[in-house]
């Protein structure tokens, strides 16, 4: 590779929605231009070994973060790496596979922001701050349908991991440049209409959201922007936003960067529930707002070069 990849970290607790969020961002960037690095592949121990050691997969001692950093450095330098992937269905590692570098690296997992050394490698970092009741529902749904657990076993795992999550996973929220929170009070939950709160730190190259929203008054009832005393931009997206309102926001955003307008053609906002593909406009906007600084970082790198 002639250019250093742009690195995006997507971090959050188990079943917070990292893969779903990342899939839409990958589509925006161009799947053929993206390599996904899953940090679960850097567990030190398989499931049986963790049980014998009474060690949670969420604990830093259970993850080879130094090796993760070495592999990221190799990928940044344009070199492929070889790693045995972790198989959640079996709880063990599979045959080693080769990971090749791409124009964009999405680093997805539990502890990718745990150390200063890892944080320094990323161009953009995201923490997915899913409320615990919602995350618990998603984890039960996923682990019973895909990983062979009973609902009772998943509840026991969640209880056992609570202290570790509090100590090591959630503190990463304060270290991310973007915090995304999907939330809503409907029971049973309608995941297509979850609200989204997107917090963007001052350290991030933020889009001019005031001008974006001013250009699409149609979205005013369902999209609101506030600024914190610390410079954070907090965008609230109502889950009831319509396709027309979401489209107005998207067009206003990308009109400011014509080079990125191709992203309007990408399909975003999709998620799978009980085997069916569904769509969330709030999710789609969150994915586009994350892709924005990632692409800006690429354009800035190309300009310098």
- CATH at residue 101: 3.40.50.300
Give the pLDDT confidence score for residue 184 in this predicted structure: 86
Element of type H or E holding 254: helix 243-254
10 Å CB burial of residue 197 (0-12, 13-18, 19+) is: middle
pLDDT of residue 264: 58
Tell me whether residue 131 is in a domain: yes
Inside any domain, residue 1: no
Alpha carbon distance 305, 91 (integer Å):
44
pLDDT in tens, 192-210: 999 999 999 988 877 788 9
Q: Provide the token pair at 188.
A: 């049973």
The model's pLDDT over 194-253, given as tens digits with 9 standing for 90+, comes to 999 999 998 887 778 898 899 989 999 999 999 988 889 999 999 999 999 998 988 888
Q: Which residues pair with 128 in a beta bridge?
A: 12, 180
- Residue in 105, 104, 86 with CA at minimum distance from that of residue 95: 86
CA angle centred on 6, ends 303 and 101, rounded to 5°: 120
Q: List the chain residues with pLDDT less than 50.
A: none
* Number of domains within the chain: 1
Range of the domain at 136: 6-304
- Residue 120, Cβ density class (10 Å: 0-12 exposed, 13-18 middle, ≥19 buried): exposed
Q: Give the count of beta carbons closer than 10 Å to the beta carbon of residue 244.
A: 10
**Residue 190: its pLDDT value, please?**
86
Which distant-in-sequence residues (6+ apart) come within 8 Å of 173 by Cβ?
127, 129, 179
Does residue 264 form part of some domain? yes
Domain assignment present for residue 263? The answer is yes
């Amino acid at each position: 590779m002639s250019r250093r990849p742009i690195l995006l970290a997507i971090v959050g607790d188990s079943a917070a929605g990292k893969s779903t969020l990342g899939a839409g961002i990958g589509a925006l960037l161009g799947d053929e231009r993206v390599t996904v690095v899953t940090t679960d592949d850097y567990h030190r121990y398989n499931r049986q070994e963790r049980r014998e050691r009474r060690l949670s997969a969420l604990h830093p001692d259970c993850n080879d973060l130094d090796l993760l950093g070495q592999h990221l450095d190799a990928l940044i330098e344009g070199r492929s790496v070889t790693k045995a992937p972790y198989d959640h269905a079996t709880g063990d590692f599979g045959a080693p596979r080769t990971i090749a570098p791409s124009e964009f690296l999405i680093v997805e997992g539990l502890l990718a922001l745990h150390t200063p050394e890892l944080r320094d490698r990323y161009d953009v970092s995201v923490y997915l701050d899913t409320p615990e009741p919602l995350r618990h529902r998603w984890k039960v749904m996923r682990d019973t349908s895909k990983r062979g657990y009973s609902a009772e076993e998943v509840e026991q795992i969640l209880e056992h991991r609570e202290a570790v999550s509090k100590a090591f996973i959630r503190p990463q929220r304060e270290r991310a440049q973007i915090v995304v929170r999907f939330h809503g009070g409907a029971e049973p939950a309608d995941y297509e209409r979850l609200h989204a709160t997107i917090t963007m730190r001052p350290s991030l190259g933020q889009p001019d959201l005031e001008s974006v929203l001013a250009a699409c008054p149609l979205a005013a009832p369902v999209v609101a922007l506030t600024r914190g005393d610390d410079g954070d931009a907090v965008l609230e997206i109502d889950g009831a936003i319509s396709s027309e309102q979401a489209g107005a926001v998207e067009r206003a955003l990308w009109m400011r960067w014509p080079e990125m307008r191709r992203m309007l053609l990408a399909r975003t906002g999709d998620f799978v529930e009980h085997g069916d593909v569904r769509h969330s406009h709030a999710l789609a906007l969150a994915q586009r707002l994350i892709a924005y600084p990632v692409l800006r970082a690429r354009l800035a790198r190309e300009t310098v070069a």
